[in-house]
Structure 1
Amino acid sequence: MNRKDFYNILTISLGAGLFFYTFFDSEKTVQNFFFTLGISLFYTVVLSTGNHQINTFLNRKFSWVENTRQRTIFGIIATVLGNVIMVLFCNYIVFIVIKNEDSSKFFSDTMNFVNWFMINFALMISAVLHAKGFIAELKKSTRKEVVEQKLIAKSANAQFESLKNQLDPHFLFNSLNVLSSLIDENPDQAQHFTASMSKIYRYVLEQKDKELVTVEEELNFARTYCDLLKTRFEDSVNFEFKVNENDMKSFVVPLSLQLLLENCIKHNYATAQKPLNIKIYSEQGFLLIENNLQAREQMKESAGIGLANIVQRYSLLTKQNVFIEKSEDFFRVKIPILTQKITAMTTQPTQESMAYERASKRVKELKGFYGNLISYCLVIPFLIFVNLYTVPQYHWFWWPMLGWGIGLASHALQVFGIGRSWEEKQIQKILEKEKHLKN
């Protein structure tokens, strides 16, 4: 027991002792005050220690966050049974052992009322402690989740920025290689290529900091870049664009086509007799770049920066995969066409977003239920005391106790009952149906 727990026990004992001394002790003497305070301390130590052991055992078996339903159900059962046993034990020690009352009267009408009242009082304190434990675990879990999400976000942002920063030197290096070849082959075309390259590089600088661009923007840039490649290779390379108009306003990662076109040129030979045919088209939610396979012999293994860059950037933006298909006759890359322009840190799948919303709603429902339960445990014993203290011959407290109890039971069924499972199953069915339609 730490110092905080010790002070809490003393505080509860003092409060309970003052309460019982003020309202139940007929002789207001110093001796009776300290006797009542000692009895209150005895009750507090037994009940607090017992409830602490119950909570510790349940916390080891069931997590408040991951097994909320099981933790609540077993918590209610164990708390009720445990407090009934502990209260009866304390009452027996106080009334039979200490006060030397007749043991045969332990379950008389008067003692039954005392037992029942003390059990409710103990359950009220236990409900407060359980709610406090739940909120503490929830805050702990939330803080841990926030820290993890921040680390993930920082890591993803850093990785995304690193990938985007690869584009400048990568594009510039490949363009200078093309320019170097043209200077020897055709100086006039090299001059034209230099002017056009400056325009393209301006686009690279403008788009590289964006996470997504429209398919239309990317295609316009790709056409300009293909014109430059056509300038160098002439009839050795052919380009064909067949993209659906419906896909033009959707999104892809910027400079993806330029990187894939470079990949086609770099890994295939092209001659006038055997031209390299490159086709760009859309199909079933993907943008495809396909070329006839005319693999050239590589003097050294390629670094694979372009294709790897696209795959990694898409992995940070969406769970849709980039597909690479290769046969003896063709090489094809399929990049997803995204329908929503969202940032890298918010491009979570719809199912995960809805799961988070359901979890937030669940926490609110649980907090509402425990607030209702604590209010019930606080107010009903007070009404019983007022009723028996003022009009003991007429027990009107049964009406609010039963009415509110029915409402509390209904609330518990809404939070933990059959309706909740049915709702979660229906949500899961809808999510799976939408996922199937998208695929």
Structure 2
Amino acid sequence: MNRKSLITISWITFFIGTVIFVFFTPVKTFRNYLVTMVISALYSFTIAVGNGLINDYLNKKYSWVENTRKRTILGIIGTLLVNVVLVFFCNYVNFIIFQHRNSAHFFSGAMGTSNWLTINVALLISAILHAKGFVEAWKSSTKQEVVQQKLIAKSANAQFESLKNQLDPHFLFNSLNVLSSLIDENPGQAQRFTASMSKIYRYVLEQKDKELVTVEEEINFAKTYCDLLKTRFEDSVSFDFNVNEKDLKSYVVPLSLQLLLENCIKHNFATSSKPLHIKIYSENGNLFIENNLHQREQVKESAGIGLANIVQRYSLLTKQNVFIEKSATFFRVKIPILTQKTTAMTTQPSQESMAYQRAAKRVEELKGFYSNLISYCLVIPFLAFINLYTSPQYLWFVWPMLGWGFGLSMHALKVYGIGKNWEEKQIQKILDRDHSKNL
């Protein structure tokens, strides 16, 4: 119980005490006003502090978010027991000690009715406090989750942009190296290479800002780039394209083939007597780039931008991995073909968004149950009061109490029932299966 809560209880005490004194106290004296305030404080502070302590204890032991069911069950049991004990204590002090009534009739007659009504009012207030604590806990949790997912998405986007921005200088640097070699070897080819390079670089600029491109676009660009390489290496390098027609409309990361082709050239020597054969083909939903191995000695350590860039970009876009296979005779890279134009930066938040929607739906279900419980605790005591005041010989309020109570029990089973975990597991399985199909 904090200072703010104690101030609130004091105001409630003052309000209730004043109302009782003005409307229900026949003799208006200052002494009676003080007595009314003391009795009001007895009920307000005893019941409020008792409920506050049990709530604080349960909140420390069990989280509303992580242990919702256990927290709710223990809250109901604890609140019921605590309020019954506290109400009996307050009524005993009020009726038996202050008013000197006969203790033999404490559980019957007017005192018994007062016990019943006071317990229901206390339970109503407790239910409101529980509902308030539950909603605040879930709001706080969902806000933190949304902020966390936004930070993850922003971080992933920033990382992805950083990887894509490596492509411009990387491609330009390597192309200029090729051009530099051609100027000495064959100035005519160097001139044609320069013209072709400008067309290819335009494609690089157009595609680098895209997260995915179609396999068809990437293959067409790769063929143009291969023509550029043929300009320099002539019959020392050969290229074989064999991509299934059905895979052309699927997606890969942009410039992946260009980087892998460049990687083949960079790490292997090619001569007319020992040509370099490069194959690009698709199989089982994957795109393969394979070359025979004529590994050259590296004068200086490679920057490792090509393969590392592709691996990192795919890791941000999908759970499917890029596989690299090397033997004594060949080197092969397998990159996944994505069947839908979705990325991790849109798919992941989407899945989290659906999880958030399920959580929000769960909150609404629980709020509905608490609203039903609060209405029950408010309406049934009111009906009981009307019944006992108008026709105490026939307790008709028992029937709506039992009927509504049964409906409330069914509502509780629906919200906290055993089958709920099974339902949530099935929903999660469907989401995971759909997510894997999309990728």
Q: Do these two structures clear the TM 0.5 threshold for a shared fold by scoring above it?
A: yes
CA-CA distance at 1:384 after TM superposition: 2.4
Give the aligned partner of residue 317 of structure 2.
317
| Deviation of 1:4 (Å) | 2.0
Q: CA deviation at 1:19?
A: 5.6
Amino acid at match of 1:262: E
Residue number in structure 1 paired with 2:250 = 250
Asked whether the equivalents of residues 64 and 138 of structure 1 are also in contact (C-alpha less than 8 Å), the reply is yes
1:341-400: per-residue Cα shift (whole Å, max 9, x none)? 235521228865543442232122122222222222222222322333344343332233
The more displaced of 111-120 and 230-239 is: 111-120
Give CA deviations for 1:202-261 in whole Å, capped at 9, x if unaligned.
Answer: 111111111111111111111111111111111111111121221111111111111111
User: Where do residues 338-377 of structure 1 align in structure 2 (5 Å cutoff)?
Assistant: 338-348=338-348, 354-377=354-377
- How far off is 1:47 after superposition? 1.2
| Deviation of the 1:411 alpha carbon | 1.2
What letter corresponds to residue 113 of structure 1 in structure 2? T
Q: Which amino acid aligns with 1:127?
A: A
Which residue of 1 is the match for residue 28 of structure 2?
Answer: 29
1:68-147 aligned at under 5 Å gives the runs: 68-147=68-147
Alpha-carbon distance, 1:430 to partner: 3.9
- What is the alpha-carbon distance in structure 1 between the residues aligned to residue 434 and residue 136 of structure 2? 37
Partner Cα separation in structure 2 for residue 10 and residue 148 of structure 1: 40
Do the aligned partners of 1:413 and 1:419 also contact (CA within 8 Å) in 2?
no
Is the alpha carbon distance of 1:16 and 1:244 closer, same or farther for their aligned partners in structure 2, counting shifts above 3 Å?
farther
Pairwise CA distance, 1:187:
1.4
Once the two structures are superposed, the pairs formed by residues 373-412 of structure 1 within 5 Å of their partners are 373-412=373-412
In the TM superposition, what is the alpha-carbon distance from 1:436 to its structure 2 partner?
8.1
Mapped partners of 2:34, 2:320: distance in 1: 72
Does 2:316 correspond to 1:308? no
2:269–2:276 Cα contact (<8 Å) kept: yes
Is 1:235 the counterpart of 2:238? The answer is no
Residue 421 of structure 1 is matched in structure 2 by 421
Q: Does 1:277 align with 2:277?
A: yes
Please state how far the C-alpha of 1:36 moved relative to its aligned partner.
2.6
Query: Does the 8 Å CA contact 2:318/2:343 hold for their aligned counterparts?
Result: no
User: What is the CA-CA distance between 1:20 and the residue it aligns to?
Assistant: 4.9
Partner of 2:205: 205
Q: 1:17 to 1:377 in 2, by over 3 A?
A: farther
> Retained in 1: the 8 A contact 2:64–2:137?
yes
The answer on whether the counterparts of 1:216 and 1:249 sit within 8 Å (CA) in structure 2 is yes
- Asked if structure 2 preserves the Cα contact closer than 8 Å seen for 1:21 and 1:36, the reply is yes
Q: Map of 1:54-73 to 2, 5 A cutoff?
A: 54-73=54-73
Q: Percent identity?
A: 71
Q: Note the alpha carbon deviations across 1:42-97, whole angstroms, 9 max, x for none.
A: 11111111111111111111111111111111111111111112112222222222
Q: Secondary structure at the match of 1:27?
A: coil
Number of corresponding residues: 438
Shift of 1:133: 0.7
Report the more deviating stretch, 56-65 or 421-430: 421-430
- Give yes or no for contact 2:214–2:249 (8 Å, CA) kept in 1: yes
Offset at residue 140 of structure 1 (A)? 1.6
Structure 1 residue runs without a partner (length 5+): none
Most deviating of 230-239 and 104-113: 104-113
**What's the CA shift for 1:175?**
0.7
Instruction: Please give the alpha-carbon distance, in whole angstroms, between the structure 1 residues aligned to 2:46 and 2:219.
Output: 76
Deviation per CA, 1:137-175, whole angstroms, max 9, x where unpaired? Answer: 122212222222222222222212111111110110011
Distance of 1:212 and 1:234 partners within structure 2:
31
> Do 1:64 and 1:71's aligned partners in 2 also have CA atoms closer than 8 Å?
yes
Cα drift, residue 22 of structure 1: 6.6
Given that 1:211 and 1:344 are in contact with CA atoms closer than 8 Å, whether structure 2 keeps it comes out as: no
Instruction: From the superposition, tell whether residues 122 and 29 of structure 1 become closer, same or farther in structure 2 (CA, over 3 Å).
Output: same
Give the Å deviation of 1:307. 1.3
In structure 1, the residue matched to 2:44 is 44
CA RMSD across the alignment: 2.3
Letter in 1 for 2:74: F
What's the secondary structure of 1:277's corresponding residue? strand
Return the offset for 1:276: 1.5
Q: Distance in 2 between matches of 1:16 and 1:249?
A: 73
2:142–2:356 contact (8 Å) kept in structure 1: no
Looking at structure 2, the residues matched to 332 and 360 of structure 1 have their Cα atoms a distance apart, in angstroms, of: 47
Cα pair distance change 1:240/1:284, threshold 3 Å: same
Letter in 1 for 2:286: F
Looking at structure 1, the residues matched to 334 and 17 of structure 2 have their Cα atoms a distance apart, in angstroms, of 76
Q: Tell me the TM-score normalised to structure 1 length.
A: 0.93
AA aligned to 1:418 is I
Matches of 1:151 and 1:378, distance apart in 2: 44
Q: Distance in 2 between matches of 1:426 and 1:342?
A: 24
CA distance in 2, matches of 1:351, 1:198: 41
3-state SS of the aligned residue for 2:348?
Answer: coil
**What corresponds to 2:53 in structure 1?**
53
Q: Which moved more, 1:383-392 or 1:227-236?
A: 383-392
Q: Does the alignment pair 1:216 with 2:216?
A: yes
Secondary structure of the 1:348 match is helix
Structure number with higher relative contact order (C-alpha < 8 Å, ≥ 6 residues apart): 2
Once the two structures are TM-superposed, the CA of residue 176 in structure 1 deviates from its matched residue by: 0.7
| 2:264 aligned partner | 264
Distance between the aligned counterparts of 1:433 and 1:142, measured in 2? 25
